[in-house]
Structure 1
Amino acid sequence: MSMFNHPPRDDSDQGIGTLITPSHPIPELSPILRQSYAETFVDFCYTWCPVVHREDLIDDRSPFARSLLLQQALGLLGTTIRPPRLSHQPPRVHYERFKVLFHGNTERNPLARIISIILTYWWSAGPPSVVSMDSQYWWTSLAIRLAQEIGLHRRPCIIHPEDTNVKLPSLDEFPHDRRDNAEIFIHWVRVCEIIGDLSKHLRNRNDETGSTFELAQRLIKWVNALPRRLRLSFSTVTTTDFDRDVHQLHLPYLSAITLLYMSASTQPLPKAYGAAVLSASCVARIFEDLLARGSIAFLPGIGNWYISIAILALLHARQIESLKNVANAQIDILFIALREMSKLWHSARMFLLGFERLLSGFSSDASAASSQTVGNQLSQALELNELNIEDGINYREFFPDATVDTSPLFSVLFTHNPPSIFVEAEWTNDLSLQLQNMFDHPYDDLDFGLAVNDISFPTSAQPR
């Protein structure tokens, strides 16, 4: 079965086994590399994962600094996100050493063990579609179970917000010099709570899971509650006050809007409404800012999902003639990001192949169409009106600081006057199934040269 075929990473090292034997004990990290990796953790990961302080990673008086298990996890994270120019072991070596130490039960401190597992979140040893003891899901599950064993989750073990007595994090729980990071983390936890309810709603759209209107209102309330320094500075053509953490904070928020305003379709592409298209445009601008400033290796694997959801919404938008060119430009940016992510994440390769097959299918259909068919399709082309939805929400409220300069796509939609009669949303509860069918493919033959502008869609409201 294909799900049990676990392809190795391209950076696998066949000689790793000889490095981990009784005659070759696992060495400690050198002080200079340990400090470098600790700084990488603080610079790129601490905001989203405040589980250990920098001083505890480098001060030998700390119970964590001398932990071989934690050192290997830190080395794995550091060499994955920002590898040093000095001589160092590759990520795969750190990962194999980490596994030997973990399964050998060499670390007796339960907190050090849990922290070490959490730091492996920035590593992908295999695709998510393969049964494996090396996946993110496997290690995250272990961390959760170990945390439950020592009572970190209090009551109950299986978390439902309405049942739990665990309080949301507050600024008082963080060191004073980390207040800026803490503020971002707190708002991130709050939007994740909304996303949890959204995921239940998307699986089963009924009154018990909350209405689309209620979830939209909660998202709008969240973004308007952000302090000024945590808002996206997208009111001008270029980002003058770039903050990597603020950009990253908005990715789950924008993806939640896209999913909320995208519905499954009998066609290859899901249907995206105006709010979904604008959110996707913001995601593209975020990745444009990140790519312009160098590597995006610091992003966790969920970044692949954010990119892919945005691409789907923009692929729907590009079927509208007035949005085609501006949507294409942002789709190309997102494909660049996805290709960059594919260097580290198997899931990105899976998404790329799904898009390659989807777009190749469109290209084949378009080239095979007769001139008469094309003429008929032109009369059925999507129009801007079809992005509207009657749900009581003004989609501009999702983007309180956006202007016509946020992106060319914003310029078109913000100057468009919607008609008085809106298109009713065709909400369905099988969007996740459509996405699974689209992306659940083996990816060994993937062509990473994919460029969306090389492919023409049929100009039909119902692409084949």
Structure 2
Amino acid sequence: MERSFRIDETSSLVDSPQRARRACTECHARKVRCDVGTSSSPCSTCVRDARTCQPRSRQKRRIRRPSTHPDGTTVTPALGKSATSTPYENGYMQRATFIGPETLDAQDGQEPGYASVITHGSSVSRQICDLQKAFTLPSKTVQLALFDNFWNYSYVWDPIIERAQVLGVYNERVSPLLLQAIFLGGSRVSAARLPSIDPHEFYLRAKTLFWTNQEPNPLVKIIAVSLLHWWNPHGPELVSTNTSTFWNRIAVSLALQMGLNSAQRKVPDESLRRRIWWSIVARDCLISAAHGRPQSVNLEYCDVPRPSLHDFSPGNTIAPVFIAYVDLAVIIGRFVNHSIRKNSIELQISEIGPRLQQWIQALPPALRMSPATYATDSLNEYSAIDILNFCQLNVTYYAAVAMLYRARTSDGAFPTAAVLAGSVIAGIFEDFLARDQVRHLGPVYTFYLLVASIALLSCYKYEDIWLTAQEDLKIISHAQDEMKKKWPSAIGSIRSFDKMYNTTITTQTREKKLPQQSLDGTQCDLLSGVDAFGCAMWSAICPTLSGIDDRDRDRVVDVQLAGYQESGHNIPNVPLISTEHFGEPAAEFDWNMLPLDQHDEQWQIDDDLFGGYLFWDDSAES
């Protein structure tokens, strides 16, 4: 018997006359026999069960066009709706050979074909977005202000958006998820107090758009998710799905899915992808440092080159800052890995010390700053925002030095390098406070303040330098108070120092005089930016330094007070921030820990302390 075949123009496959029996929506979902095709609607099953009988639309298969892979094998990627789109073979490894349902079509920078239904959003998801006002945007005036804040203060650490993506086009042509994420970042570094500039609202809108799959483009999605770290409502002592850690791990997951960690194949927007990847990696390293917990990214499985000037437009002033920031963050990440694994101190110093030494020697001179260099003529070409970025980078660097050379036991040798680094951090923050710039800082700076305070606390044992150290600690106290107004994670930092301080004053035996100190060659190089004006502890420790020749001493004190005076600048006789309200320095420094509110107490689940792994080994369990 001769069989006849027909081609259905709306189908992608050659069909035989014997087609599968049709079923209504209800019967198909329940997997029961349906007679909708043999009698008039409704079917007998729906009549019996008093259900609404609706015809079910059959899903049409798509024509597959065979193609030849570079290795000689034949593959059949499905055709998407757009004939101009690139097959999803430019992403991680070789996408065309990825094991998965053959009917799924995915393209680089887009979701698989099935996502087109999801991204349109069901009626329920749309109602959720409407209830959360997820598509609501502030006025044009507020938008421009938030854009300015983002580009000025956030973009340098997250250069993962091209301005052309959001500026110069109508907002309806820009991803709502991306806009809400940018507005979040801009609002978190703003001092404005307007109902229309509420970071929490921007965060809720962005989170709603993300979880309801309103954004079809994975590249846009990962950019937006990477920016949600600007919310960060509290520290690691609380379990939460709203912290920087949570969103960074989601960003890592998306980045690995998209193959941003691999440079095996050439892909579009390669420079942008590289900046996205290393921005995520840098944040992962710093979060690990602040929390003392493992990183999400294992760089052993990454072959993507570090960002370079070629990844930015010519003359971009933030490019060298971001490049140096990424390199420094990776070094800090390696240090934390050593600390978590409890590797020997000798191994940590022998590996991390030279890496920091190489980093500071390769740093462009303009980026290597301290408060004493703010007013020099060589900085006239840079804006106040550029200088703020340079100083933030230096805070991160000196925090790394203080972490590496900190005291490991309560009765160990005096950590000269750590104390000097901590004092430099206090000096830079004194300038931040004087210029009202603390509000532009991200949450990780509460951790850097903790690192500096732990280093300075090593001075408690020695009466002749403790009074000077207290002045730096007062600045840090004031800075933490300002940070707490925007970043409640500062509460955890204050709690941690309070524990360390109480342990110190109850266990340390006071001594009258500081013993002779020394710095090795690596430490001299690391501290070559320290000067008597930007580091209050220098004048207290300098007379006790021994074991280094004049050449090394000059490397440490490369900006002397005399030289600063010869440049024609007047050295102020009082600090930039008046400390009169603190009263006269007391023999015991009174650290007033800010109280926790009741909500935080209810959600406290463990005794983990912010940065607790940096405490003395013999005080960790006290």
Which band: TM-score by shorter chain?
0.7 to 0.9
In structure 1, the residue matched to 2:158 is 49
> CA RMSD for the aligned pairs?
3.6
How far apart are residue 98 of structure 1 and its match? 1.7
Q: Contact 1:117/1:139 (CA < 8 Å) preserved in 2?
A: yes
Runs of at least 5 residues in structure 1 that lack an aligned partner in the other structure: 1-17, 367-373, 421-448
User: Which one-letter code corresponds to 2:179 in the other structure?
Assistant: Q
Q: Contact 1:258/1:309 (CA < 8 Å) preserved in 2?
A: yes
Q: Contact 2:405/2:417 (CA < 8 Å) preserved in 1?
A: yes
* Gap change, CA 1:352 and 1:452, over 3 Å in 2: farther
How far apart are residue 249 of structure 1 and its match? 0.8
In structure 2, the residue matched to 1:263 is 407
Among 359, 370, 373, the alignment partner of 1:222 is: 359
How far apart are residue 40 of structure 1 and its match? 0.9
> What pairs up with 1:124-273 in 2 under 5 angstroms?
124-154=232-262, 159-178=297-316, 180-204=317-341, 206=343, 210-235=347-372, 241=379, 243-265=387-409, 273=415
Which structure would you say has the larger RCO, counting Cα contacts within 8 Å and 6 or more residues apart? 1
How far apart are residue 54 of structure 1 and its match? 2.7
How far apart are residue 170 of structure 1 and its match? 1.0
* Gap change, CA 1:341 and 1:21, over 3 Å in 2: same
2-side partners of 1:25 and 1:417: how far apart?
60
Q: Is 1:456–2:584 an aligned residue pair?
A: no
How far apart are residue 191 of structure 1 and its match? 1.4
In structure 2, the residue matched to 1:370 is none
Q: Contact 2:229/2:243 (CA < 8 Å) preserved in 1?
A: no
2-side partners of 1:209 and 1:315: how far apart?
23
Q: Contact 1:274/1:388 (CA < 8 Å) preserved in 2?
A: yes
> What pairs up with 1:14-93 in 2 under 5 angstroms?
21-22=130-131, 26-60=135-169, 66-84=174-192, 88-93=196-201
1:236-271 per-residue CA deviation (whole Å, 9 max, x = no partner) reads 69788461011111122111111111133257xx97
Among 278, 296, 307, the alignment partner of 2:420 is: 278
Give the structure with the larger helix fraction. Answer: 1
- When structure 1 is superposed on structure 2, of 207-216 and 127-136 the one drifting more is 207-216
* Gap change, CA 1:89 and 1:320, over 3 Å in 2: same
* Gap change, CA 1:318 and 1:238, over 3 Å in 2: farther
* Gap change, CA 1:190 and 1:89, over 3 Å in 2: closer
CA radius of gyration, larger in: 2
How far apart are residue 185 of structure 1 and its match? 0.8
* Gap change, CA 1:147 and 1:351, over 3 Å in 2: same
User: Which one-letter code corresponds to 1:396 in the other structure?
Assistant: C
Q: Is 1:324–2:456 an aligned residue pair?
A: no
Among 496, 499, 510, the alignment partner of 1:354 is: 496
2-side partners of 1:126 and 1:247: how far apart?
25
In structure 2, the residue matched to 1:305 is 447
Q: Is 1:407–2:407 an aligned residue pair?
A: no
Q: Is 1:383–2:521 an aligned residue pair?
A: no
* Gap change, CA 1:61 and 1:93, over 3 Å in 2: closer
* Gap change, CA 1:60 and 1:205, over 3 Å in 2: same
Q: Contact 1:213/1:393 (CA < 8 Å) preserved in 2?
A: no
2-side partners of 1:100 and 1:236: how far apart?
46
1:276-319 per-residue CA deviation (whole Å, 9 max, x = no partner) reads 00110111111111111114222222111100010011111243
SS of 1:75's equivalent? Answer: helix
Q: Contact 1:317/1:324 (CA < 8 Å) preserved in 2?
A: yes
1-side partners of 2:147 and 2:421: how far apart?
34
Among 212, 218, 228, the alignment partner of 1:104 is: 212
- When structure 1 is superposed on structure 2, of 406-415 and 167-176 the one drifting more is 406-415
TM-score, length-scaled by structure 1? 0.75
Q: Contact 1:41/1:77 (CA < 8 Å) preserved in 2?
A: yes
Q: Contact 1:47/1:184 (CA < 8 Å) preserved in 2?
A: yes
How far apart are residue 120 of structure 1 and its match? 1.8
How far apart are residue 124 of structure 1 and its match? 1.8
* Gap change, CA 1:71 and 1:346, over 3 Å in 2: same
SS of 2:318's equivalent? Answer: helix
How far apart are residue 457 of structure 1 and its match? 6.5
Q: Percent identity?
A: 26
User: Which one-letter code corresponds to 1:399 in the other structure?
Assistant: L
2-side partners of 1:165 and 1:316: how far apart?
41
* Gap change, CA 1:80 and 1:403, over 3 Å in 2: closer
How far apart are residue 130 of structure 1 and its match? 1.4
1:344-388 per-residue CA deviation (whole Å, 9 max, x = no partner) reads 22321112133335445666x59xxxxxxx9xx55x456243x55
1-side partners of 2:500 and 2:251: how far apart?
37
Pairs aligned (count):
398
- When structure 1 is superposed on structure 2, of 340-349 and 399-408 the one drifting more is 399-408
1-side partners of 2:345 and 2:452: how far apart?
28
2-side partners of 1:394 and 1:143: how far apart?
37
* Gap change, CA 1:174 and 1:77, over 3 Å in 2: same
Q: Contact 1:34/1:58 (CA < 8 Å) preserved in 2?
A: no
- When structure 1 is superposed on structure 2, of 102-111 and 392-401 the one drifting more is 392-401
How far apart are residue 327 of structure 1 and its match? 0.9
* Gap change, CA 1:46 and 1:289, over 3 Å in 2: same
2-side partners of 1:342 and 1:306: how far apart?
14
- When structure 1 is superposed on structure 2, of 115-124 and 29-38 the one drifting more is 29-38
Q: Contact 2:349/2:404 (CA < 8 Å) preserved in 1?
A: yes
* Gap change, CA 1:208 and 1:355, over 3 Å in 2: closer
* Gap change, CA 1:155 and 1:227, over 3 Å in 2: closer
Q: Contact 1:82/1:297 (CA < 8 Å) preserved in 2?
A: yes
User: Which one-letter code corresponds to 2:139 in the other structure?
Assistant: S
Runs of at least 5 residues in structure 2 that lack an aligned partner in the other structure: 1-126, 265-276, 278-295, 549-580, 591-617
Q: Contact 1:287/1:333 (CA < 8 Å) preserved in 2?
A: yes
In structure 2, the residue matched to 1:15 is none
In structure 2, the residue matched to 1:4 is none
2-side partners of 1:93 and 1:412: how far apart?
49
1:375-430 per-residue CA deviation (whole Å, 9 max, x = no partner) reads xx55x456243x557xx54532212233333333112323323269xxxxxxxxxx
SS of 2:225's equivalent? Answer: helix
